Amino acid sequence: MADLRTEFLGIKSPNPFWLASAPPTDKEYNVRRAFEAGWGGVVWKTLGEEGPPVVNVNGPRYGAIFGSDRRLLGLNNIELITDRPLQQNLQEIKSVKKDYPDRAVVVSLMVPCVEDAWKAILPVVEETGADGVELNFGCPHGMSERGMGSAVGQVPEYIEMVTRWAKQNTRMPVIVKLTPNISDIRKPAEAAHAGGADAVSLINTINSITSVNLDLFAPEPMIDTKGAHGGYCGPAVKPIALSMVSEIARNPLTADLPISGIGGVTTWRDAAEFIALGAGNVQVCTAAMTYGFKVVQEMISGLGQWMDEKGHESVASVVGRAVPNCSDWQNLNLNYVSKARISQDDCIKCGRCFAACEDTSHQAITMSADRTFEVIDDECVACNLCVNVCPVENCITMERINPGQVDERTGKIVEEEFADWTTHPNNPGLVAAE
Amino acid sequence: MANSINTEGVVAGRLDADVLADNFSDLHPPLDDHEALVAADRCYFCHDAPCMTACPTSIDIPLFIRQIATGTAEAAAKTIFDQNILGGMCARVCPTETLCEEVCVREVAEGKPVIIGQLQRYATDKAMDAGVHPFTRGVETGKSVAVVGAGPAGLAAAHRLAMLGHSVTVYDARAKGGGLNEFGIAAYKSVDGFAQAEVDWLLQIGGIEMQYSKSLGDEISLESLRAMHDAVFLGVGLGGVNALSAEGEDKEGVCDAVDFISELRQADDLAELHIGRRVVVIGGGMTAIDAAVQSKLLGAQDVTVAYRRDKSAMGASEFEQDLATSKGVRIVFNAQPLKVHGNGSATGVEFERTNNLDGDLRSTGETFLIEADNVFKAIGQTLTTEAGLDLERGKIVVSVDGKTSIEGIWAGGDCALGGDDLTVTAVAEGRDAAMDIHATLMGKELKNG
């Protein structure tokens, strides 16, 4: 079996699956059970400064959206950082790390935006034997109202400043956790890099209201008829997270900055995708909160099987492999032509491809009296909507029209040469070649 | 209790009351909210859905299932009732395994269809339990329509006509309405007096007068109805039962399966019903299966369905056959009854073995005897009302709109030619005839005006 061991900022773990800073890592009891279940590491739930701990609401902390069969697709929370005393957390971190020296134990931190606060907390964390710290600049609810969390993460100058303080006050590796509640994720990543961060982790949760109570006209999760936006996570946010990870990995200014990928990792495949887009490891929360710690076993076996099948010897050998293929729209090959193909053997005749294409796309699928569905090459623009709405995986596929063949839609022969928007005659910005 | 399944002869009280109650409880217990949501989630919301095409009443099944999935079962019920006002009963008695569920794409894909029938029951129960009737009567047209037969076809026609503003009088030979829903289907398919509750609920539309114990040919005649009303709809069903044409049919213990089923449905105490230790049901349709299964459930020890053709020709669906065999009923194919044995009371039926040669049923010459204290005949029913209408194959000839050969008379349901003899088909025919009656009456109005 493939070697799943990873070394992230010099922190070793038996596999790339870490539990993200969140309720599953709030105390020793959970973390020990997580390690017994096989998790490679944890980021301990965010510690605040010494003193009376924060308090949490006493009503619902979570809201959710669901897919078919009430599969949880997206989870939102309004829980704050740890509400347990700092000293208790520190003792427990020390105790766990001592018993699990082969696992990664990183501690998430969130203290006020003054250097003294960071000077105070970093040494006591270091004393626990923890492997590193993660600066929580992402939490979008509650703490941000107090000038912490995403209130810092949304201002690149603050990120750089606080990151620098942290680096100056500890020998531990420093990971900066980024908020996605920002228009260009590259800016905070660049700021973290400039401040000396050893890595960034992303994404933290997204501002969200999961639903509205239509009897009381209040957002959910609702506390006594009122609601506040929470942080959204789970499978639904994965596409956003993947895109943001890729943006940082592609950015020449941060291309060498290690990334810990977070956002909706639920299966081994999700993890492999983050890794392919440049993440050195992944952090998981919602999957564990939905199914329990045992889910990591599928992630481990699945990633291993895939690596074996593909001949990938180590996780490190896969990191970033998809980054060179992340491009811009203007660079996509306009001479690449494909058409939908419906496998009649696999088709169950539900007709959803037809409804989708006929009503909302290009009228490129015919339906016969006996419910045979076929693609009209004259009309098919290869939009892929039929593939996406078909309930049977791989029943509809996209087949390339090879160069030299005629595209029935345009009547033109598909050309061999690469041609994109930058060279297209319709492009008003086209600068004639000299 | 003295009697048991081992008691010889035809006796009552073979089983304890609690066993009987359990035996005759709901065949498919209703779905609870969670089960309904899980089941509804499986629907793919197909385009031009095969299930909808397969439904004789063309209920918009994907839409009503989506309405259930989004927590609006009442809206789902309205979608069902729009097409089929007896959607509650059809949810219970439709052979969905040969209709909507047979063509469900998930049956095709996984061998497990969306449980459309049970979802339909979930939605219709919700609406009917709330006592809500989702339709209102239209403006009075001043037209009067006679509906003969308060079964599925007649009730569907009456409701639609009343909704369109006509005054409807429903005549039925029996003392209460429902037709085969009330008298003709297995008890475990319609528990807790559902058939009557459905009639009462349906009548909430208003404008329908029920006249019970009025039999065509006795208390009323087609001529008088035509004179009193602007149109007549016949939904009289098939009142007669085919004879066995086997010797000894008059022996005690031999009776029509429909009578046995009717008696059972109307019984206040199942423990008082007599049933033989050994029962033979002759026939191959739903009625045969219903009679056989209920015989078994009443405590008959050996129950056999004897059908003269082979399995592939059997009218009862595969599901019904499996239900019967799972209850311990034996199905014997290619058995043609020759003679009922017995001295006064039946003791057995002698059969001859048949085979099928190029579509011709032939005797092989082999005979055999099956012991029986009760012999139930379920070899088809016949039309008892002819009244000068054109008939074909023993049924009233009708157009696609339900018009008979006599102007002003429409017909639908089992008495009319065409379509399967199913509740749902009867509902569709009654509804469609009502629409044609409406168009005809109002068209005349326009012409006269």
pLDDT tens-digit map of B410-425:
999 999 998 888 999 9
Q: Is the CB of B106 less than 8 angstroms away from the CB of A392?
A: no
Three-state secondary-structure class, residue A375: strand
Q: Got the DSSP string for B53-90?
A: HHSTT---HHHHHHHHHTT-HHHHHHHHHHH-TTHHHH
Q: Is the CB of B47 less than 8 angstroms away from the CB of A70?
A: no
Say how many CB pairs under 8 Å bridge A and B. Answer: 36
Q: Of chain A residues 318-377, which have a CB less than 8 A from chain B?
A: 348-352, 354-355, 367, 371
Q: Is the CB of A352 less than 8 angstroms away from the CB of B50?
A: no
Residue in A348, A351, A354 closest to B108 by CB: A348
Residue in A69, A350, A354 closest to B44 by CB: A350
Q: Got the DSSP string for B346-368?
A: EEEEEEEEEEEETTEEEEEEEEE
Determine which of A128-142, A361-375, B236-250, B340-354 has the lowest per-residue pLDDT on average.
B236-250
Mark out the alpha helices in B130-249 (DSSP H runs).
Answer: 152-163, 180-183, 194-203, 222-228
- Report the alpha-carbon distance of residue B340 to residue B254 in Å, rounded: 9
Give the chain A residue nearest B109 (alpha carbons).
A348
> Residues A95-128, buried b or exposed e (16+ Cβ, 10 A)?
ebbeebeebbbbbbbbbebeeebbeebbeebbeb
pLDDT greater than 90 at residue B388: no
Q: Using the Cα atoms of residue B409, residue B412, residue B415 and residue B417 in order, give the sign of their dihedral.
A: positive
pLDDT in tens, A244-257: 999 999 999 999 99
Contact predicate A356/A386, CB 8 Å: yes
Task: Name every chain B residue with its beta carbon within 8 A of the beta carbon of A354.
Answer: 47
pLDDT in tens, A336-345: 999 999 999 9
Task: Name every chain A residue with its beta carbon within 8 A of the beta carbon of B37.
Answer: 70
pLDDT greater than 90 at residue B448: no
Describe the crossing of helices B318-326 and B286-298 by its angle, rounded to 10 degrees: 20
- Report the alpha-carbon distance of residue A192 to residue A263 in Å, rounded: 19
Q: How far is B43 from chain A (nearest CA, A)?
A: 10
Contact predicate A352/B47, CB 8 Å: yes
* CB-based burial label for B27 (10 Å; 0-12, 13-18, 19+): middle
Contact predicate B254/B340, CB 8 Å: yes
Structure tokens at A243: 């895109």
Q: Is the CB of A352 less than 8 angstroms away from the CB of B46?
A: yes
Spacing of C-alpha B420 from chain mean position: 11
Q: Is the CB of B44 less than 8 angstroms away from the CB of A371?
A: no
Three-state secondary-structure class, residue A131: coil
pLDDT greater than 80 at residue B76: yes
- Report the alpha-carbon distance of residue B151 to residue B407 in Å, rounded: 23
Q: How many alpha carbons lie under 13 Å from residue A222 in its C-beta half-sphere? A: 13
Task: Check residue B447 and give its pLDDT.
Answer: 56
A386 catalytic? Reply is no
Residue with structure tokens 């920002």? Answer: A182
Structure tokens at B42: 């499986």
Three-state secondary-structure class, residue A133: strand
Q: What's at A194, amino acid-wise?
A: A
Tell me the backbone φ, ψ of residue B166, rounded to 5 degrees.
-85, 155
Give the β-pairing of A259-262 and A11-13: unpaired
Task: Name every chain B residue with its beta carbon within 8 A of the beta carbon of A351.
Answer: 46-49
Determine which of A13-17, A143-147, B128-132, B441-445 has the lowest per-residue pLDDT on average.
B441-445
Task: Check residue A432 and give its pLDDT.
Answer: 55
pLDDT greater than 50 at residue B63: yes
pLDDT greater than 80 at residue B445: no
Q: Which of B33, B34, B38, B47 to mutate to test the interface with A (most CBs of A within 10 A)?
A: B47
Q: Does B104 touch chain A (CB under 8 A)?
A: no
pLDDT in tens, B79-98: 999 999 999 999 999 999 99
Task: Check residue B449 and give its pLDDT.
Answer: 44
Contact predicate A137/A176, CB 8 Å: yes
Report, as an integer, the average pLDDT of B237-250: 87
Report, as an integer, the average pLDDT of A233-238: 98
- Report the alpha-carbon distance of residue A318 to residue A313 in Å, rounded: 9
Q: Is the CB of A68 less than 8 angstroms away from the CB of B41?
A: yes
Contacts for B269 with CB less than 8 Å, ≥ 6 apart: none
Q: Is the CB of A352 less than 8 angstroms away from the CB of B106?
A: no
- Report the alpha-carbon distance of residue A19 to residue A16 in Å, rounded: 10
Query: A139, A347, A386, A395: which one is catalytic?
Result: A139
- The model's confidence at residue A69, banded by pLDDT at 50, 70 and 90, is confident
Task: Check residue B1 and give its pLDDT.
Answer: 52
Q: Which of A348, A367, A368 to mutate to test the interface with B (most CBs of B within 10 A)?
A: A348
Q: Does B191 touch chain A (CB under 8 A)?
A: no
Give strand pairing partners of A83. none
Supply the mean pLDDT for chain B.
94
Give the chain A residue nearest B36 (alpha carbons).
A69
Q: How far is B105 from chain A (nearest CA, A)?
A: 6
Residue with structure tokens 């304890």? Answer: B16
Task: Check residue A369 and give its pLDDT.
Answer: 95
Determine which of A394-398, B84-88, B362-366 has the lowest per-residue pLDDT on average.
B362-366
> Residues B180-190, buried b or exposed e (16+ Cβ, 10 A)?
bbbbbbbbbbb
Q: Which of A70, A350, A352 to mutate to test the interface with B (most CBs of B within 10 A)?
A: A350
Contact predicate A72/A237, CB 8 Å: no
- Report the alpha-carbon distance of residue A173 to residue A8 in Å, rounded: 10
Q: Does A161 touch chain B (CB under 8 A)?
A: no
- Report the alpha-carbon distance of residue B166 to residue A78 in Å, rounded: 61
Q: Which of B37, B43, B44 to mutate to test the interface with A (most CBs of A within 10 A)?
A: B44
Q: Got the DSSP string for A271-330?
A: HHHHHHTTEEEEEE-HHHHHH-TTHHHHHHHHHHHHHHHHT--BSTTTTTTTGGG---GG
Q: Is the CB of B38 less than 8 angstroms away from the CB of A367?
A: no
Q: Does B247 touch chain A (CB under 8 A)?
A: no
Task: Name every chain A residue with its beta carbon within 8 A of the beta carbon of B42.
Answer: 68
Q: What's at B37, amino acid-wise?
A: L
CA angle A47, A48, A53 (to 5 degrees): 105
A300-306: long-range contacts, CB 8 A cutoff, minimum separation 24: A300/A4, A300/A15, A300/A17, A300/A38, A300/A268, A301/A268, A302/A267, A302/A268, A302/A269, A303/A2, A303/A4, A303/A15, A303/A16, A303/A268, A303/A271, A303/A272, A304/A1, A304/A2, A304/A4, A305/A268, A306/A268, A306/A269, A306/A272
Task: Check residue B446 and give its pLDDT.
Answer: 57
Q: Is the CB of B44 less than 8 angstroms away from the CB of A392?
A: no
Q: Is the CB of B47 less than 8 angstroms away from the CB of A350?
A: yes
Q: Is the CB of A69 less than 8 angstroms away from the CB of B41?
A: yes
Task: Check residue B348 and give its pLDDT.
Answer: 96
Tell me the backbone φ, ψ of residue A20, rounded to 5 degrees.
-75, 160
Q: Does A311 touch chain B (CB under 8 A)?
A: no
Q: Which residue has the higher pLDDT, B154 or A147?
A: B154
Task: Check residue A434 and give its pLDDT.
Answer: 44
pLDDT greater than 80 at residue A398: yes
Give strand pairing partners of B342. B346
Residue in A69, A70, A350 closest to B105 by CB: A350
Task: Check residue A142 and give its pLDDT.
Answer: 83
pLDDT in tens, B365-378: 999 999 999 999 99
Q: To 10 degrees, the CA torsion angle through A12, A13, A17, A19?
A: -90
Q: Closest Cα to residue A226, out of A236, A234, A216, A235? A: A216
Q: Of chain B residues 33-92, which have a CB less than 8 A from chain A?
A: 37-38, 41-42, 44-50
Report, as an integer, the average pLDDT of A102-107: 98
pLDDT in tens, A170-205: 999 999 999 999 999 999 999 999 999 999 999 999
Give strand pairing partners of A11. A8
Give the chain B residue nearest A393 (alpha carbons).
B109
pLDDT greater than 60 at residue A325: yes
Give strand pairing partners of A241. none
Q: Closest Cα to residue B2, out of B12, B270, B10? A: B12
Supply the mean pLDDT for chain A.
96
Interface confidence, given as ipTM, is 0.85
Q: How far is B31 from chain A (nearest CA, A)?
A: 16
Task: Name every chain B residue with its beta carbon within 8 A of the beta carbon of A371.
Answer: 48, 50
Report, as an integer, the average pLDDT of B338-348: 95
Q: Does A71 touch chain B (CB under 8 A)?
A: no
pLDDT in tens, A261-299: 999 999 999 999 999 999 999 999 999 999 999 999 999
Spacing of C-alpha A351 from chain mean position: 33
pLDDT in tens, B209-221: 999 999 998 999 9
Q: Is the CB of B47 less than 8 angstroms away from the CB of A355?
A: yes
Report, as an integer, the average pLDDT of A108-114: 95
Give percent of chain A above pLDDT 70: 99
Q: Which of B105, B107, B110, B112 to mutate to test the interface with A (most CBs of A within 10 A)?
A: B105
- Report the alpha-carbon distance of residue B268 to residue B291 in Å, rounded: 18
Task: Name every chain A residue with its beta carbon within 8 A of the beta carbon of B50.
Answer: 349, 371
* CB-based burial label for B192 (10 Å; 0-12, 13-18, 19+): exposed
Determine which of A429-433, B100-104, B170-174 has the lowest per-residue pLDDT on average.
A429-433
- The model's confidence at residue B384, banded by pLDDT at 50, 70 and 90, is confident
Task: Check residue A394 and give its pLDDT.
Answer: 96
Ramachandran class of B58: left when φ > 0, alpha when ψ lies in -120 to 50, beta otherwise: left
Q: Using the Cα atoms of residue B189, residue B194, residue B198 and residue B201 in order, give the sign of their dihedral.
A: negative
Q: Got the DSSP string for A215-263?
A: TTTEEESEETTEE--EEEESGGGHHHHHHHHHHHHH-TTTTTS-EEEES
Q: Is the CB of A392 less than 8 angstroms away from the CB of B109?
A: yes
Q: How far is B421 from chain A (nearest CA, A)?
A: 26
- Report the alpha-carbon distance of residue B318 to residue A433 in Å, rounded: 74
Q: Is the CB of A352 less than 8 angstroms away from the CB of B47?
A: yes
Report, as an integer, the average pLDDT of B259-265: 94
Task: Check residue B287 and give its pLDDT.
Answer: 93
Q: Is the CB of B47 less than 8 angstroms away from the CB of A349?
A: no
Give the chain B residue nearest A390 (alpha carbons).
B44
